Homo-oligomer: A and B are copies of this chain.
């Protein structure tokens, strides 16, 4: 496959948001003397993310950074789990938990290998530009550059986000590979004219989650990031 650049989803595909945010909730909530099924709170918070994005994409909500969407949804999720007592400082701290996520164990070495090759690598995340920059730096995930949906003042799966990436990188969409563990992200990228690579992350929603149906039509399937790096070796001109 001839590609010039590969862009990566970050939440889920490269980082284990669930265990990281669950830990942050348990720590912040515990300090405040509260108790809850913290993983269930994390899952509810994450599930509220797509509907919030949908409101932005439909125009019901004006575009705002992901941090602000996370805060809106947190303020809904906490009282629903008996955690309405959490204060302002704690809520701000929890929003920032999404800036420090643990990488999946294979991600750093695979990205490092890709950076040494000819294919340009970038994030393509719904996280804010600064948020994703700090997140990948602290997680040790190396890229040639950072791209965020913020640069298109929209969110994936809006096709403008994928096309913004192609335009800024100066590559044709058909020579740009979107890498993600979420079938809907890959389907939207393919519709925008990009190539697609699927990396399954069966543990994204925890060990007890129902299996995710794999996407039906992608260009590549790789077990993890090093396997993808191996497939892409020598792919660029």
A residues engaging B (CB < 8 A)?
115, 120, 122, 128-131, 133-134, 136-137, 142-146, 150-151, 168-171
Whole-angstrom CA separation of A169 from B168 in the bound complex: 18
A-B contact pairs, 20 of them (CB 8 A): A120-B130, A120-B133, A120-B137, A122-B133, A129-B145, A129-B168, A129-B169, A129-B170, A130-B168, A130-B170, A130-B171, A131-B170, A133-B169, A136-B144, A137-B144, A142-B142, A143-B145, A145-B145, A146-B146, A151-B168
**List of B residues within 8 angstroms of A144 by Cβ:** 133, 136-137, 146
Contact of A145 among B115, B146, B170 (CB under 8 A): B146
- Check B120–A145 contact: CB distance below 8 A: no
Cα of A182 to Cα of B128 in the assembled complex, Å? 31
Contacts of A150 in B (CB 8 A): 168
Contacts A120-B137, A129-B168, A143-B145 known; list 12 others, CB within 8 Å: A115-B137, A120-B130, A120-B133, A120-B134, A122-B133, A128-B170, A129-B169, A130-B168, A130-B171, A133-B144, A136-B144, A144-B146
Measured CA separation A18–B94 after assembly (Å): 49
Interface of A is mostly: helix
Which B residue sits closest to A143, measured CB to CB?
B145
Please measure, in the bound complex, the distance between the C-alpha atom of A228 and the C-alpha atom of B149, giving whole angstroms: 32
Task: Across the interface, name the chain B residue whose C-beta is closest to A130.
Answer: B170
Whole-angstrom distance between the Cβ of A170 and the nearest chain B Cβ = 3
Complex Cα–Cα for A10 and B2 (A)? 29
User: Once the chains are docked, how many angstroms separate the CA of A137 from the CA of B114?
Assistant: 11
- A67: nearest chain-B partner, CB-CB: B170
A171 to chain B: which residues have CB within 8 Å? 130
A202 CA to B171 CA, complexed, in Å: 36
* Given A144-B146, A151-B151, A169 contacting B130 (CB threshold 8 A): yes
Pair A145/B169 contact, Cβ less than 8 Å = no
| A146 neighbours in B (Cβ, 8 Å) | 144-146
Q: Report how far A131 CA is from B143 CA in the complex, Å.
A: 15
Chain B residues contacting A137 (CB-CB under 8 Å) are 115, 120, 144
